[in-house]
Structure 1
Amino acid sequence: MKILMTGGTGLIGEAFIKQFQEHQFTVLTRSISSQSAKLAVFNNNAAMPVKVDFIDTLEPLKNLDGFDAVINLAGEPIIDKRWSPKQKHIICQSRWSLTQQLVDLFTNSQTPPVVFLSGSAIGVYGDCGDQPVTEDSAVEGTDFASQLCRNWEQIALGAAPYTRVVLLRTGIVLAAHGGALGKMLLPFKCGLGGPIGGGKQFMSWIHYQDHINAMQFALLKSSISGAVNLVAPEAQTNSVFTQTLAKALNRLAVFPLPKKILQLLLGESACLLLDSQNIVPQKLMQSGFEFKFHRLKLALENLLKSPSV
Structure 2
Amino acid sequence: MHILITGGTGFIGQAFINTFHADYDFTVLTRDISNAKNIFSHISTDNIRFISQLLELPSAIHIDAVINLAGSPIMDKMWSVKHKHILESSRWEITQDLVDLISTKTITPEIFISGSAIGAYGRQGAQVIDENHTEHHPEYASHLCEHWEEIARIACPLTRTAIIRTGIVLGKHKGALQKMELLFKLGLGGPIGQGEQYMSWIHIDDMVAAINYVIQNKSISGTFNFTSPNPVTNREFSHKLAACFGKKARFTIPTLFLRLLLGERADLIIYGQRVLPTRLLDVGFTFHFDTLDQAFSAIYAS
Q: Calculate the TM-score normalised by the size of structure 2.
A: 0.96
Q: Distance in 1 between matches of 2:219 and 2:299?
A: 32
1:12 partnered with 2:21: no
Q: Distance in 1 between matches of 2:60 and 2:28?
A: 14
Q: Distance in 1 between matches of 2:92 and 2:204?
A: 24
CA contact (8 A) 1:64 1:106 kept: no
1:138 partnered with 2:131: no
For 1:238, the equivalent position in structure 2 comes to 234
Shift of 1:274: 1.1
**CA RMSD after TM alignment:** 1.6
Change (3 A) 1:107 1:64: farther
CA contact (8 A) 2:51 2:57 kept: no
Shift of 1:182: 1.1
Q: Which amino acid aligns with 1:16?
A: F
Q: Distance in 1 between matches of 2:46 and 2:296?
A: 29
Shift of 1:275: 1.2
CA contact (8 A) 1:200 1:238 kept: yes
For 2:225, the equivalent position in structure 1 comes to 229
3-state SS of 1:40 partner: coil
Shift of 1:35: 1.5
CA contact (8 A) 2:79 2:264 kept: yes
Of the three residues 178, 186, 193, the one matched with 2:174 is 178
Q: Distance in 2 between matches of 1:149 and 1:17?
A: 24
1:196 partnered with 2:197: no
3-state SS of 2:76 partner: coil
Q: Distance in 2 between matches of 1:162 and 1:63?
A: 19
Shift of 1:150: 0.1
Of the three residues 242, 247, 254, the one matched with 1:251 is 247
Q: Distance in 2 between matches of 1:202 and 1:175?
A: 19
Q: Distance in 1 between matches of 2:181 and 2:290?
A: 21
CA contact (8 A) 1:65 1:111 kept: no
Shift of 1:38: 2.2
Q: Distance in 2 between matches of 1:264 and 1:50?
A: 49
Q: Distance in 2 between matches of 1:140 and 1:11?
A: 27
Q: Deviations over 1:83-117 (max 9, x none)?
A: 00000010000000000000000011177111000
For 2:32, the equivalent position in structure 1 comes to 31
Q: Which amino acid aligns with 2:77?
A: K
Q: Distance in 1 between matches of 2:142 and 2:43?
A: 36
Change (3 A) 1:302 1:211: same
Percent identity of equivalent pairs: 47
For 1:87, the equivalent position in structure 2 comes to 83
3-state SS of 1:81 partner: coil
Q: Which amino acid aligns with 1:302?
A: A
CA contact (8 A) 2:9 2:39 kept: no
1:263 partnered with 2:259: yes
Shift of 1:188: 0.3
Shift of 1:63: 7.9
3-state SS of 1:206 partner: strand
Q: Where does the alignment leave 5 or more consecutive residues of structure 1 unmatched?
A: 44-48
Of the three residues 281, 284, 290, the one matched with 1:285 is 281
Q: Deviations over 1:151-177 (max 9, x none)?
A: 000000011111011001000000112
Shift of 1:298: 1.2
Q: Calculate the TM-score normalised by the size of structure 1.
A: 0.94
Shift of 1:59: 2.3
For 1:116, the equivalent position in structure 2 comes to 112
Q: Distance in 1 between matches of 2:69 and 2:204?
A: 14
For 1:213, the equivalent position in structure 2 comes to 209
Q: Which amino acid aligns with 2:19?
A: Q
Shift of 1:276: 2.0
Q: Which amino acid aligns with 2:122?
A: G
1:153 partnered with 2:154: no
- Which structure 1 residue ranges, 4+ long, deviate > 6 Å from structure 2? 62-65
Shift of 1:250: 0.8
Q: Distance in 1 between matches of 2:210 and 2:67?
A: 13
Q: Which amino acid aligns with 2:2?
A: K
CA contact (8 A) 1:233 1:280 kept: yes
